[in-house]
Amino acid sequence: MADFRITRGGSWVSIPWDCRSACRYDHHFDHRIEYVGFRVCCSLQGNNHPINSIINSTINLTTMTTINMLAIPAGTFEMGSAMSPSEQPVHPVSLEAFSMSETLITQAQWRAVAQWKPRDGECWGMELDPDPSHFKGDDLPVECVNWKEAMEFCNRISQRTGRHYTLPSEAQWEYACRAGSTTKYPWGDEITHENANFWDSHHSTTPVGSYPPNAWGLRDMIGNVWEWIRDRWHSNYDGAPTDGSAWE
């Protein structure tokens, strides 16, 4: 399954089962789909900046466009669930502090980075379409971008800022989504259209931040668009890392 990567969180077309904090699916890394997007993550690994400046930060893309990064505290949680074989075995994972974008990457943020011209010392890995999304709107999540293009977005902001930005690992994503919860969803065991944009809510994506945040301030962790994860797909958690790193 080397060509398949994990997606998390469910989307505007997802049924409640698919929107659970522990639910995981695989998509081919070349697929561009109108219900798959991403958010970015910054870990301490590979960074030579003070911890506070890495964790609590704003990425300036243009004079008018930024990405707000929220602090995710270090901790240990039980990853997975007993509800599906692919989510087993449930296992403890201990993570260092990291930061994650408050929202899904928007079309305005994507367009800003896609239109950057390399500066001296910068080298882009591939061209990016500034306007790939099926649903159009600056505040809507970017979608119809594949895994490699999402990683190129991270590559560009890493080179521009000197910090290590990437897609979250699967463990980082679930830990941040749960935000200390142990229920099916970050807010409890039931989901309604007041909580998230999922099955039959709007029949399209919605502006990021339209729904209440989880306990750590992150928005749209559930619904709107599935989120690309850095890890390769594995059919279960046998042999999975326990330190929060991505599983290749």
102-150: per-residue pLDDT in tens? Answer: 999 999 999 999 999 999 999 999 999 999 999 999 999 999 999 999 9
| Mean pLDDT of the region 67-92 | 97
| Mean pLDDT of the region 28-53 | 80
| Mean pLDDT of the region 26-51 | 83
Residue among 69, 63, 32 at smallest CA distance from 158: 69
pLDDT band at 200 (very low <50, low <70, confident <90, very high): confident
| Mean pLDDT of the region 37-49 | 77
Residue 44 has pLDDT above 80, yes or no: no
Residue 2 has pLDDT above 70, yes or no: no
How high is the pLDDT of residue 6? 98
How high is the pLDDT of residue 177? 98
Paired sense of beta strands 57-60 and 66-72, if any: antiparallel
Contacts (Cβ under 8 Å, ≥6 apart) of 2 = 232
Residue 45 has pLDDT above 80, yes or no: no
| Mean pLDDT of the region 153-182 | 97
Residue 48 has pLDDT above 90, yes or no: no
Helix (H/G/I), strand (E/B), else coil: 177:
helix
Rounded to whole angstroms, the Cα distance separating 45 from 48 reads 9
How high is the pLDDT of residue 57? 83
How high is the pLDDT of residue 201? 86
How high is the pLDDT of residue 122? 98
* Contact yes or no for 147/154 (Cβ under 8 A): no
Measured from the Cβ of residue 127, the count of other Cβ atoms closer than 10 Å reads 9
Residue among 138, 145, 147 at smallest CA distance from 209: 138
DSSP code for 113: H
How high is the pLDDT of residue 231? 98
Beta bridge partners, 68, equal 58
DSSP run (H or E) holding 67: strand 66-72
Residue 1 has pLDDT above 70, yes or no: no
More reliable by pLDDT, 29 or 45: 29
How high is the pLDDT of residue 154? 98
Residue among 76, 139, 69, 82 at smallest CA distance from 107: 139
How high is the pLDDT of residue 20? 98
More reliable by pLDDT, 200 or 82: 82
Rounded to whole angstroms, the Cα distance separating 126 from 146 reads 12
Residues of the chain above pLDDT 90, percent? 92
Tell me how far CA of residue 219 lies from CA of 81, 164, 210, in angstroms.
22, 22, 8
Average pLDDT, the chain: 95
Residue 54 has pLDDT above 60, yes or no: no
DSSP code for 156: H
